[in-house]
Amino acid sequence: MGGRSGVRVTSLHAGLRTESAQGKGGDGGGDGDAQDACLRVTRQGKGEKQKVTTAGVLMVSGLFLHIQASATLPSPQGVTMQSLNTQYVLKWTWPHGSGGNRTVTFAAQYMPLRSIPTRSKFKLRSRNRSWSTVCENITDTQCDFSDSDLYYFGIYLLRVRASREKENSDWVQQEFCPDKDANLGPPSNVEVTPANNGLTVNISDPLTSKHTSMKDYLAYMYYSVQYWKHSTAERKVRSASPCD
């Protein structure tokens, strides 16, 4: 018996690409002032002041710093953005346990770094450089950014942290460029019908999270169509652009 014939369609694009912008952040400060203050501590003896030894101060200071570090809540791990078209879900792991009966919750935020000039009808609505909260006090280890209306050609800084009662972990940050990092999904629908001695293939565009065409974002999107007569036959490829 002969093999089955078939058609395979994938969607592709040659759209814009943005440059990654990296930033450095963190809280400044050190232990120098605190150590100097400790070294100036004196104690009153019999009619004279005796300085506390440097070794003793360093030992006490080191013990204090160790206690502070061990009480800090760990940060989330494995932070990744899973994105398809304009569906953006930030995910992470929490392998540290709950710490008894105390519930660990999470918060996720984003901040635009800069926008990219484009002829697209979609523009960055706000140039606000402050943090916007998407999820807060959640126990799940993922946060959906799809409804945040992120500008497709923008560059964003994402961050997530853990909280437990009055403890907060350090923020874990990640840069995100939708048009560079988001995967383009397959056509939303493909219909194949016989036509004379051939086939007619009707292809529907991939859809955004708001059920609109991805062609609004990717002006150069096209399709790769593979077709073959038998499963063992050589497969042929044809490219096709969506009709306006």
Please name the residue that has the structure tokens 């993922």.
Answer: 142
Alpha-carbon radius of gyration of the chain: 29
Quote the pLDDT of residue 119: 47
- The pLDDT of 87-103, averaged and rounded, is 84
Q: Do residues 52 and 36 make contact, with C-beta atoms less than 8 angstroms apart?
A: no
Q: What is the pLDDT of residues 41-76, one digit of tens each?
A: 333 444 444 444 444 434 444 444 444 444 489 999
Calpha distance 61→65 (Å, rounded): 6
Q: What is the pLDDT of residues 7-48, one digit of tens each?
A: 666 677 654 333 333 334 444 444 444 333 333 333 344 444
Quote the pLDDT of residue 220: 84
Give pTM, 2 decimals.
0.63
Which of the 8 DSSP states describes residue 215? Answer: G
Amino acid letter for position 45: G
**Cα 156 to Cα 18, 23, 151, 171, distances in angstroms:** 11, 11, 9, 15
Domains and CATH numbers, the chain: 6-15+184-240 (no CATH), 32-70 (no CATH), 77-181 (2.60.40.10)
Q: Do residues 76 and 94 make contact, with C-beta atoms less than 8 angstroms apart?
A: yes
Quote the pLDDT of residue 228: 80
pLDDT band at 227 (very low <50, low <70, confident <90, very high): confident
Calpha distance 209→145 (Å, rounded): 10
pLDDT band at 128 (very low <50, low <70, confident <90, very high): low
Q: What is the pLDDT of residues 175-190, one digit of tens each?
A: 999 999 999 999 999 9
For 201-225, b/e burial (b = at least 16 CB within 10 A) is: bebebbbbeeeeebbebbeebebeb
Quote the pLDDT of residue 30: 43
